[in-house]
Amino acid sequence: MNYKDLSKIEFDICVIGSGAGAGPVIYELSKAGYKVVVLEKGPWFRTKDFSKDELVATRRSVYTPNLKDEPQVIEQEDVMGNWKAQSNYETGNDFWNGNCVGGSSNFMSGYFSRLKPKDFKLLSAYGKIEGANISDWPIAYEDLEPYYTKVEHLIGVSGKVVKHKFLEPRSTPDFPYPPLKENYVSQLIDKAASDLNLQTIPLPRAIISQNKGDRNACYYSNYCGSYGCSSDAKGSSRVSLIREALKTGNCTVVPNAKVFYLEADAPDKVSKAFYYTPEGAKEFIRAKIFVVAAQAVETSRLLLMSKNKFFPNGLANNNGQVGKNLIFSAGGVGGGDLFYKDFSEKIAKKLAEPGVFVNRTLQEFYELQDPKSGKKMKGGTIDFLWEHANPVSKAIRQKWDENGNLLYGTRLQNKLYRYFNDLRKLKFEIFVDWLPTDNCYVSLDDKVKDKWGDPVAKIRIGHHPHDIKIGNILAEKAEMLMKKLGAKNIYSGVSGYPPSNLQAGGCRFGNDPATSVLDKNCKAHELENLYVTDGSFMPTGGSVTYTWTIYANSFRVADKILERLKR
């Protein structure tokens, strides 16, 4: 690739990142005939490069940076109330996700649930919570609904719409692809829920159950989440959008291009994006419009690094809001063991069937009543799934006995044999709102640098106690259902430490330039040609995974950019 030649072109759109927040903009603008260049810091893996190798997918830094080269600093509160910062090169607890063309959408499990109308107005619907910076969205569910539908068709969502008390309004009666094949355990979950007067619903997945163009339907490999898809069934940005954009001839993808600075040579306009080539040289791209979609932490970091005389505190940050109000997905996990001996031989055989999905979710408790005040309060979602099939990870978790002693030899062999042959672990994941606070944000570390000598992201992780309160309520409900369906060794854990793959906020959108970074169309208040389309825009996250909403909003913003270009 001749980087010098690229610097001579003024592109219509420069997109930084290539995941769920970037793909719709790349797709729509390329299809409309505009010249789009994509700067992706990671490599360009093709479908043929993805295998079911556990060491590659989950035990090594193949799809994410080596922490020696690109560390982050994580700041947590200790038991004495003091904040302690530590490089994750020392701890290994990083917040990198899918650094490659298509981003983390290559490796998602594809759990797709829409936000509910009340998620767009959390403050108005449920009121203030002390210590939380809750803000209503500047758009409503109705503004995003057509784009949720668009995602169903273009990305490909499989499932079955079932009426329930928290079903969001839809413009279409059902999903475009029928549900994926399910394990018999789904029927056990439905039965247990019914016995408890609860209603489970099928969980939509961004995995196609039927062929779509040159994409093949799911072949039920038994290795989905954390793995790239070998059939292109998973609705990654790379396969469903960027591949189509490339066919237009209007899209140029530049992999291994680490953007480190956005230059603004006027007080209201970005002119260039500077990046490192694989050899470490500095090059730049010129464009009329710049779209940043590097995932929440890195998007804030890039803007904070892009200081100049107009923006001494970082690009679009004269109000000091860039990096603030970072949010994740609060909640926890739990599970229980289903011993084959507790079921008939026929049912046990069905439970042991690999590959097919559970695809059950419980949204009965999306809204709760506070037992003390009697007021309504926001609840959350419980999703059910099998323990991941990764054999190495499963085996490692069996190395302790019931007293916490390390097992060796025959005792370890026997335990492993029983675990892999006598039972199957059913798990649940709890999703509740991570309330934005003053103690969850991104800044630049003043000491730790990456391999290029740039300051790394410093991520302060502070949670609101309300998150734990709601999470514990849902964990109790989930355990109750697990007990009803016959699980043993039931457990759950609700934590204030966030899942690294579900990050948002840091550049929230809003109508007030004093308290938000972006306007309602995700354009920076202070710059006429800078947009942010990853999860950074979200003031609150709802009680579901973010990816579908990020996709939908990016399609919405793409339409706004097109309207602007056509004037």
Residue 397 has pLDDT above 90, yes or no: yes
The H or E element spanning position 547 is: helix 547-565
Phi, psi dihedrals of residue 266, rounded to the nearest 5°: -140, 160
The H or E element spanning position 304 is: helix 296-305
Q: What is the pLDDT of residue 58?
A: 87
* DSSP structure string for 354-420: -S-B--EEE-TTSEEE-TTT--EEE-EEEEEEEPP--HHHHHHTTSB-TTSPBP-HHHHHHHHHHHH
Domain boundary assignment for the chain: 3-565
Residue 182: pLDDT band (50, 70, 90) is very high
| Bridge partners, residue 83, by sequence | 77
Kindly tell me the number of DSSP H helices and DSSP E strands found in the chain.
15, 21
Residue 98: pLDDT band (50, 70, 90) is very high
Phi, psi dihedrals of residue 182, rounded to the nearest 5°: -120, 150
Percent helix / strand / coil, the chain, rounded to 5 = 30, 25, 45
For the stretch 302-345, pLDDT in tens is: 999 999 999 999 999 999 999 999 999 999 999 999 999 999 99
For the stretch 334-359, pLDDT in tens is: 999 999 999 999 999 999 999 999 99
Task: Please state which CATH class domain 3-565 belongs to.
Answer: alpha beta
Residue 482: pLDDT band (50, 70, 90) is very high
Per the listing, tokens 């018999």 go with: 184
The overall pTM is greater than 0.85:
yes
Q: What is the pLDDT of residue 177?
A: 98
% residues pLDDT > 90 (the chain)? 94
For the stretch 451-468, pLDDT in tens is: 999 999 999 999 999 999
- Assess contact for 537 and 546: CB atoms under 8 A: no
494 in helix, strand or coil?
strand
Residue 2: pLDDT band (50, 70, 90) is confident
Residue 87 has pLDDT above 90, yes or no: yes
How far apart are the two ends of the chain, measured CA to CA in Å?
34
Q: What is the pLDDT of residue 3?
A: 87
Cα–Cα distance, 121 to 249 (Å, whole number): 41
Mean pLDDT value of segment 519-545? 98
- Assess contact for 115 and 542: CB atoms under 8 A: yes
Residue 28: pLDDT band (50, 70, 90) is very high
Residue 21 has pLDDT above 90, yes or no: yes
| Bridge partners, residue 11, by sequence | 287
Q: What is the pLDDT of residue 542?
A: 96
Q: What is the pLDDT of residue 373?
A: 86
Q: Characterize the bridge pairing of strands 455-461 and 488-495.
A: unpaired
- Assess contact for 387 and 337: CB atoms under 8 A: no
